Structure 1
Amino acid sequence: MAIGAAETGQVQFKNPVALAVGQDGTLVVVDQGDKMVQMFNTEGKAVSAFSIPTAWARGVAVSPSNGNILIVENENQSVMTFTPSGELVHRFHSDHFSSCYGIAQRNDGRILAVDYAEHCVAMFEPDGTFVRSIGKRGEGESEFYRPFFIAVTKSERFVVTDSYNHRLQIFDKDGSFEGISGKRGTENGDFDLPLGVGVGGEGEIVVADRDNHRLQVVATDGSHVTTVVNGDGRLASPANIAVTNDGHVYVINGKDKSIDKFKYN
C-alpha cells in the first residue's frame, strides 16, 4: 500500500519528514512542506489533519499514555505537544539541544530527543525539565556521529541510529550502553547511513538503511533477522519509518515522497 502516491489519486505530500503510529494503529505524518500533521487509518484513508506553527518540524512521537502527539522543531529548539484534534497543550524550549530529528516518549512520560548536531540524546521530564545528555561525538561506545532517530522498546530500552557511524546503539532505560549493531557495508546486518528506526510488537527492531535502499530487521540483541526490501527498486533513500504492533512498517519513500506500507512479519 502506498499513501500519497500520484497514481492513487489520494492526498499527496509536499515534504513528509516524520512518521509515528499510535496504539490504535493510526498513522501520523508530519508534512513539513504544508506545515501539517495528517492522520490515516490502517487502510490508508485520511481521517484528520491539523496545521502546526512551524516549517522546521523534524520528528514526531505519539504518547503511549494518552495518544497526544509530540513534535520536535528546530526553528525555536522546542518540543510541542498536541492533542489528536490539534490543540497545542504544551510547549517547552531548551538550550540543551540545537538540531533534533528523532523524538520518543516513554511510559513514564520522559522525553528523548536525538540531537544530530551535538551528537547526543537529550532526556527531559514531561514538563521539559532537563534530566541528562547521553553521548558525545566519536566512534566508541556511547559516542555518536550524526545520530538521527530513536525508538523505545516495551522494556524502555532505547535504540538510536548512529547514522554517520553506520550502526545502531542500544541503551538501557537509564541511558547506560548495552550494545552496538552493524557496520558500514552492503551485507545483511550492515548499514549505509541508517536513519529511521522502530520497534515491533515482539521487540524486533526495524531500520531504514537509506543508502542501501532497503529495510532491515534485527533482534533485540542486535543480530540480523531479515531484510524486508532489498534494493529492488521499490524504495529510494528510505528515511523515517513507523512500525506497527502487527508486523507492518510505514516508510517515507524518497522515490516519490509517498508513504509505503510493507509487511515484514
Structure 2
Amino acid sequence: MFKHTKALMVATIIFSCMFLCCGEDEVSHEYKFVLAWGSEGTEDGQFQNPHGIAIDSQNNIYVADVENYRIQVFDSEGNLLRSWGSQGVKDGEFQGPNDVAIDSADNVYVVDTFSNRIQVFDSEGNFLRSWGSEGSGDGEFDRPFGIAIDSSDRVIVADRYNHRIQVFDSDGNFILAFGAEGEGDGEFNHPIAVATDPSDNIYVVEYINCRVQKFTSDGTFISSWGELGSEEGQLRYPQGIALTSDDYVLVADTNNNRVQQFDTDGNFFIEFGVMGTGDGEFDHPQGIAIDSDGYVYVVDTSNNRVQKFIYE
C-alpha cells in the first residue's frame, strides 16, 4: 500500500511539473507589447497615415509619414531624432512616400509613389539621387509601393500597377524585372510589399491575391502561400512583410488587424493582434521592421502610431 501511494505521489509530482513547464513555455512564446508612440497630426512625432518602416545599423527607426509627405526618424524608444520632406516634385519632396528601406551604408531609399520614382538620401536626410518616371518600360514605374534591399545592396521595388517586381543596383541601374498581371505562379495582382532573406530570396506580398510568393534572387518562382480569409494562414489584403533573424516571415494581415508569422515555406506559426486602439491592438497595420535586438515594430496605420513588440 505504501509503495503504491508513494508511486502515485511521484507520478503526480512529475505530471504537475510537466504541466507547469508546458504552461510556462506557452506563456513565454508569444509577442509581447513593449511600447507605442505617435498620434494623428502634423506636429513632430505625429503621423498622418503612416505606411512603411525601416531600421538602420544603429537601430534608429525610419517611418514613411505618407500624408505629411515626410520621413520621420526615431530612436528605439520612440524619441524623435529628425525628419525631412514636404509635398512636391522637386528633389527631397514627396508625393506619397509609401515605403522606405536602408542599405549597408545607412543610406535611405524612399518610394515616392505618385511621382513614380525612388529617392535616395543619406541618414541625415540629405538628397543623394533619384531614378524613375511614369511608364511600363525597364526602370519606369506605375505607382510603385514597396521596397527592400538585399545583402548586395540591390534595390527591389514592388511596381504595383505594372504588376511586377523590378531590381536595380544602388545607383538605380536596371538589373531585371519579373512578373505580369494574373493569379498564377509568378504572376501578381497588386504586389505591394517586398522583403529578402539572407540568401537573397525575394518575398512578395500581393494585396489583391492575398498571398505571399517566394522567388530566388533572379526572380525564379519557388513557392506561395495564403488566400483570402480570416483563418490561420489566410490573409485579408495584406500590406507588409519582414523576416526575423531566424528566418521566420512576419506578414501584416492588414484587414484582419493582425500580424501572422510563418516559416519560409509558408507554414503558419503564430499570430498576434486584434482590432482596436489599445496596447497590442491594431487598426489596419501595414509596415513591419525588426531591429538587431529582435524587437518588432509595426506601423499601426489607422491609429497613426508605431507599436513595438518582443517575442519571448
**Structure 1 residue 76, shift from structure 2 partner:** 3.4
- Is the contact between residue 201 and residue 244 of structure 1 (CA under 8 Å) also seen in structure 2? no
Q: Which residue of 2 aligns with 1:171?
A: 168
Separation in 2, partners of 1:136, 1:255: 31
1:108 to 102, 105, 108: 105
**Structure 1 residue 132, shift from structure 2 partner:** 1.6
**Structure 1 residue 116, shift from structure 2 partner:** 1.1
| Aligned residue identity for 1:47 | V
Q: Which residue of 2 aligns with 1:47?
A: 34
Q: Which residue of 2 aligns with 1:248?
A: 248
Separation in 2, partners of 1:227, 1:198: 14
Using the size of structure 1 for normalisation, the TM-score is: 0.79
Separation in 1, partners of 2:122, 2:29: 31
Separation in 2, partners of 1:213, 1:74: 23
| Aligned residue identity for 2:178 | S
Q: For residue 117 of structure 1, give the secondary structure of its aligned residue in structure 2.
A: helix
Q: Which residue of 2 aligns with 1:227?
A: 224
Question: How many correspondences in the alignment?
Answer: 224
**Structure 1 residue 148, shift from structure 2 partner:** 0.3
**Structure 1 residue 169, shift from structure 2 partner:** 0.2
Q: Deviations over 1:28-79 (max 9, x none)?
A: xxxxxxxxxxxxx98311122222412332211111x101100121343221
Give the superposed CA RMSD: 1.8
Task: Give 4+ residue runs of structure 1 displaced > 3 Å after superposition.
Answer: 230-233
Bigger fraction of residues in strand: 1
Matching of residues 134-213 of structure 1 within 5 Å: 134-213=131-210
Q: Which residue of 1 aligns with 2:76?
A: 84
Work out which of the two has the higher radius of gyration on C-alpha atoms and give 1 or 2: 2
Q: Which residue of 2 aligns with 1:35?
A: none
| Aligned residue identity for 2:261 | K
1:58 to 31, 51, 54: 51
Separation in 2, partners of 1:109, 1:207: 23
Structure 2 unmatched runs, 5+: 1-27, 39-44, 87-91, 266-312
Bigger fraction of residues in helix: 2
1:71 to 45, 63, 71: 63
| Aligned residue identity for 1:237 | Y
Structure 1 unmatched runs, 5+: 1-40
